[in-house]
Structure 1
Amino acid sequence: MAFSWYCVLLLCLGARAANAVFLAEMKLDCRPDYMALVWSDSRSQADTSLFRLGSCAPTSSTSREVVFSVGLTDCNFRKLVTGNELTYSNELIYTPSLDSYVLPFTLPVVCSYERPNDWHPVIVDPVFDTYGVENLVFHMELMNADFSGPAESTSFRLGSMIPIMASVEQRSHQPLLLLLEECVAATTEDLEPGTDFHSIIANKGCLVDSKSTRSRFEPRQKLSELQLSLQAFKFALGQEVYIHCSLVAWDPNGLDDSKKACQYVKGHGWELLDDDSYNHLCNCCEYTCKSRKARSLEPGTNGLMKKAVLGPLTITV
């Protein structure tokens, strides 16, 4: 892993009273698993105890110098992988007291490394604390081929199957059915207006990808789990891909055309995963399934929805 000594940033900062300008020096030492930052100015009137690196207070400070020595997994560092580069970014923030003559300021702090050959991205495992009769915890993760454990790789060949399992920990709550209401694949961890995406599940629980691929829901092992075998697609081939899903914990006896798990079976049409005697709930998958008002999981209601993001993963030829 490459690392280097990044230095000297010249900062032009004004003082409210005399409109003075001073030069400050910031030295950044990026190491494999931690970084050291030193900000100093011999003429500054800044209170060095008020500096923050992300969420971290200084490791040490004097009247003219502030030092941070922190791990790259601390202080709310953001990690970004692009191609062969691994980048950790944060901000050095100065927030003065109300009676100070020094203006507040924010400076970018970036450590860039070569992406190690044996480095694999961490699978996002979203955990949500929710408020109902008891707290619920949602999970979504990549699995191995038989769903017996976590995936050993986040790289999949085009046309192979990507095993995904979503679940909800019920604890002492009444039995709940786990559903996936919507899922899309995108190249970004955050969905923004105009983002290109590949639709996987849409229309309130319809596995639309199953109409043209071998994607399918696997038979349920538990009400609180849903296993999806997703055929690796051409969308964003060779790029990092994130799977965005809406997870729903629902009353098993409260299925309707807006709360269901439907898939297209060649030669049979749309079928309901949990009870084929109610396949008619999937009829709207070809049209528009009615939307119901979201309800929170409290006494007398049926379920709760949470957003989850899985990735990044890559699809290769």
Structure 2
Amino acid sequence: MAYFWYSAVLLGMAVVTIVAQDGNVLYYFLCAFCFCLEDLKVDCGRDSVTLRWGAAQSQMDTSLLRLGDCYPSSISAGEAMFQVEFSDCNFSRLVTGDTLMYMNELIYMSGPKAQLKSFSHPVVCSYERPADWAPGIFDPVFYTYGEGDLVFHMELTKDDFSGPHLSREYPLGSFIHISAAVEQMVHQPLLLLLEECVATTTPELQSEGPVHPIITNKGCLVASKNSNSKFEPRQRTSEIRLSLQAFKFVVGKEVYIHCSLLAWDPSGLDTSKKACHYVKGHGWVLLDDPYHSTLCGCCDSSCEPWKTSGIASGKHGSTQSAVLLGPLVITDNSPA
């Protein structure tokens, strides 16, 4: 029988100061902001867990919830859901006596000026230890980070990213959905970024011929400035999804999309390692942490690497790969 271990969650505490009318007396009140744990529902399966968080307070942005290093599997109004295997998301396993436990943390990553502060909460699935269970043979791995042996994937997908797109034709204004992923093998968790993407009329990048910029300046989705193109919320750090609005480039002819992918340490973002898109009314927004969108401030100029105190820096392994998509055809069915 699996069960979930609850403990109190204290999200933050603020001191409110009130000045009396005569200006001489100060009154102090402690205000605690706490979530009711009834908003958190956990279903521990045999090899996986399903977790739902329904935000009771409107100031919570459920897209900022993380289970270990995993992003929500789905996000709807006021709710985030995780459906993950114990082999993912940096779950740890503990065996004590007759009990087998899988442990992780639910983390809320808010910004320094947000009303609702960051918090974490333990997530534990506990089971009776199977009678035939035995620990695996110890096989030490001596990698601290890796720079090779990574496998990159990139494809044109259906609207819901559930599989490959079945047609190579896209009407002008419709969305070209692109999914990319990196198989991490024995590496530490990696963040996949799209550094550069351009559209051309040939499968080779040539100095001559038309070129349509999509992503430039080390991760800036310039196509989002004049269209509804955007990065989609991540499902995993090792994946990235792009909804690209079909553009008027060479209508009716074959188009190829050339991209440069970068696998990077998730804690090592800077102005040259990022994923930014333009949100109307807000400006440039950092996909992985909107509160550090200052990293996107160079998207309208030139992005050079620089260190930031807001995100950890140091030695970060990286691997790059060039990927080609296509051919695809953008059609225009509007009256002449």
TM normalised by structure 1 equals 0.55
User: Distance between the aligned counterparts of 1:158 and 1:142, measured in 2?
Assistant: 16
Please list every run of at least 4 consecutive aligned residues from structure 1 whose deviation after the TM superposition is greater than 4 angstroms: 131-134
Map 1:166-181; keep pairs closer than 5 Å.
166-181=180-195
Q: CA RMSD in A?
A: 1.5
Deviation at 1:303, TM superposition (A): 0.7
- SS state of the match for residue 164, structure 1? strand
Equivalent AA in structure 1 for residue 202 of structure 2: T
Corresponding residue number in structure 2 for 1:62 = none
Corresponding residue number in structure 2 for 1:314 = 329
Q: In the alignment, does 2:236 pair up with 1:222?
A: yes
Equivalent AA in structure 2 for residue 249 of structure 1: A
User: Distance between the aligned counterparts of 1:191 and 1:148, measured in 2?
Assistant: 30
Pick from 242, 248, 260: which aligns with 2:262? 248
CA deviation string 1:222-242 (max 9, x = no partner) = 100100000001101100000
CA deviation string 1:98-155 (max 9, x = no partner) = xxxxxxxxxxxxxxxxxxxxxxxxxxxxxxxxx9466100011000000011111111
Corresponding residue number in structure 2 for 1:145 = 159
Pick from 251, 258, 263: which aligns with 1:237? 251
User: Distance between the aligned counterparts of 2:156 and 2:281, measured in 1?
Assistant: 29
Map 1:1-317; keep pairs closer than 5 Å.
132=146, 135-290=149-304, 301-317=316-332
Instruction: Determine what percentage of the aligned residue pairs are the same residue.
Output: 61
* CA distance 1:314–1:184, shift in 2 (3 Å): same
Equivalent AA in structure 1 for residue 295 of structure 2: L
Asked if 1 retains the 8 angstrom alpha-carbon contact of 2:229 and 2:245, the reply is: yes
User: Distance between the aligned counterparts of 1:211 and 1:165, measured in 2?
Assistant: 21
User: Distance between the aligned counterparts of 1:193 and 1:152, measured in 2?
Assistant: 32
- SS state of the match for residue 242, structure 2? strand
User: Distance between the aligned counterparts of 2:280 and 2:202, measured in 1?
Assistant: 32
Asked if 2 retains the 8 angstrom alpha-carbon contact of 1:203 and 1:288, the reply is: yes
- SS state of the match for residue 284, structure 1? coil
* CA distance 1:195–1:223, shift in 2 (3 Å): same
- SS state of the match for residue 197, structure 2? strand
User: Distance between the aligned counterparts of 2:208 and 2:170, measured in 1?
Assistant: 26
* CA distance 1:188–1:275, shift in 2 (3 Å): same
Corresponding residue number in structure 2 for 1:70 = none
* CA distance 1:238–1:224, shift in 2 (3 Å): same
User: Distance between the aligned counterparts of 1:311 and 1:134, measured in 2?
Assistant: 26
- Which structure has the larger Rg over C-alpha atoms? 1
* CA distance 1:291–1:187, shift in 2 (3 Å): farther
CA deviation string 1:232-255 (max 9, x = no partner) = 011011000000000000000000
Equivalent AA in structure 2 for residue 302 of structure 1: G
- SS state of the match for residue 299, structure 2? helix
- SS state of the match for residue 259, structure 1? coil
Deviation at 1:200, TM superposition (A): 0.3
After TM superposition, the structure 1 stretch with the greater mean CA deviation from structure 2, 192-201 or 277-286, is 192-201
User: Distance between the aligned counterparts of 2:183 and 2:209, measured in 1?
Assistant: 32
User: Distance between the aligned counterparts of 1:165 and 1:146, measured in 2?
Assistant: 10
